[in-house]
Amino acid sequence: MLVKINGPRYTRKYDYVHFNCSADYQPLGNAAEILINSKTFTHMRSSNGKCFSATIGRICSGDICNCSVDGTWFYHKYKVIDEKHFKISCLMKFDRGRNVSDSIDINVIDLIGPDITSSSTLPFVIGTVEQLSCRVKTKIKSINIKWNCVNSYPALEKLIENIHLSTITFAVRLSYQNSNCTCTVSYKDFSATHFLLLEVKALPVLKLENQTICNTSLSVSFSCTITNDVSHSRFSKWIHSVNGVAIRLLDGLINNGTSTIAINSCSYQDIGVYTCVVLNDSYANNTLVSKNVSLKVIGPPVIVSSRVIRDIKVVLVVQFVSSSDVTQRWSFMSQPIEDLHDYNVTIGKKEIMLEMYEQRIIFDGYKSSLTMSKFVSGVYVVALQNDFGQTVEKFNVQTGHVIHIIGPNEHSPSIPIYHSAPESDNSRHIYDQTIPQYLEVIESGEQDDHSDSKEDESAGEIFLAVFDQTSHDYEEIQ
């Protein structure tokens, strides 16, 4: 008489151990007793073509237990809890009082995994490069990790403390749809496997230049083209953003898989990033694909605001944007102003607030100022020069008790007179929106525009005549 039990020699905590017991002769009652560490775990028997197990109290079903019709083969599973090792025995009784058994010793190893993770969320996009990583946690050093997956580069193995990590890399292809990637960890005769079913999809591939430069007042256009054949794709609106803030949506002219937008006359308000957006309706989440092009506008400096500050000293201030570094030259009645005792000339970079298509954006700009400890009536001019041209701003400042605002085509002394109330606080004007033919007079000065001199400047109000703030003089460099 021969009884034989088969099962694994190693398992993990909380795993199910599957084992079977067989005999070369039919046992009495077509029955077998299963013992764990010499204690009865269950009694099994075959009767009328059905298999019974006492531990579940009913007919065997599924993968819990099973047996042959003649009672020579029995199968059961057992869940490991806290054992570090245990013994499973199978006992069968035969005629003449003979009891025959067999046992197997099983060791519980400290191992968690394997678990597969992916570099991107499924489904993968055809043409992209993806990574799959298999993670196993154990103190055992001599484990083996093996992949069975799509064509990939050799796996890269890492060991960080008790974490074994195996990573494969591959380019996604259409043929990989529904491929089953498995990672198997083995130690002696123990093995465990985790699998991942691949899903792939095709998305539009966009062709769009990365950067475009436009000269001031000239035209420019961007074209975004879908270079592969993907059904159900459609262009959405272009997004124009500056410093990460979306400021407007633009409709593209769509023709034969290409969306084009055109800017007829470039200005500093067109600076920023333009995003071509394509939607793919063939997926439930309406997958979004996008690509960016950056627009840089080059030209002479553009003055954003100018003002006069009257306090102990008189300060003329110009804020502007420029596509390259700037030099300044102040003059009075056509004579250059030097940075001397009575005059202080400064220029520097400054964050300024710009209104671009009804959105206020913080922008890297410049500030130029002329501080006068002794004020003299007359025409003051600042010339701002960069690599692409020159911009001139003029201040006609006179001593008096009223403020005259002169438009660009007005020369008569009978022009309208406007009065501007001085500011009552010391707030700094980060943003000054220039309004044609108006200039603001500020009675309280900015501390960084003049010294702490307390000279008496009570000679009266400042009489101002300002050349049109929106029609600056430009000198282009050819």
Domains and CATH numbers, the chain: 3-109 (2.60.40.10), 111-201 (2.60.40.10), 220-298 (2.60.40.10), 302-476 (2.60.40.10)
d(CA 274, CA 293) in angstroms, rounded, equals 5
Closest to 137 in 3D by CA, of 156, 115, 157 = 115
Q: What is the pLDDT of residue 65?
A: 94
d(CA 393, CA 238) in angstroms, rounded, equals 36
Q: What is the pLDDT of residue 66?
A: 94
Q: 207-256, pLDDT tens digit by residue?
A: 888 888 999 889 999 999 888 777 667 888 999 999 889 999 999 999 98
Q: What is the pLDDT of residue 187?
A: 92
Q: What is the pLDDT of residue 10?
A: 93
Q: What is the pLDDT of residue 126?
A: 79
Token pair listed for 178:
């529904």
Q: What is the pLDDT of residue 404?
A: 34
d(CA 105, CA 297) in angstroms, rounded, equals 79
Strand intervals (E) in 227-313? 233-235, 238-242, 245-250, 253-255, 258-263, 272-280, 287-298, 302-310
Q: What is the pLDDT of residue 109?
A: 92
**Are 304 and 362 in contact, with CB atoms under 8 Å apart?**
no
Token pair listed for 159:
């060991």
Q: What is the pLDDT of residue 207?
A: 83
Q: What is the pLDDT of residue 153?
A: 82
Q: 193-204, pLDDT tens digit by residue?
A: 999 999 988 777
The answer for 228, left when phi > 0, alpha when psi is -120 to 50, beta otherwise, is beta
Q: How far is CA 30 from CA 35, 57, 77, 284, 401, in A?
A: 17, 17, 19, 57, 121
Burial of 54 (0-12, 13-18, 19+ CB in 10 A): middle
d(CA 343, CA 337) in angstroms, rounded, equals 8
Q: Which residues of the chain have pLDDT under 70?
A: 231-232, 281-288, 339, 400-478
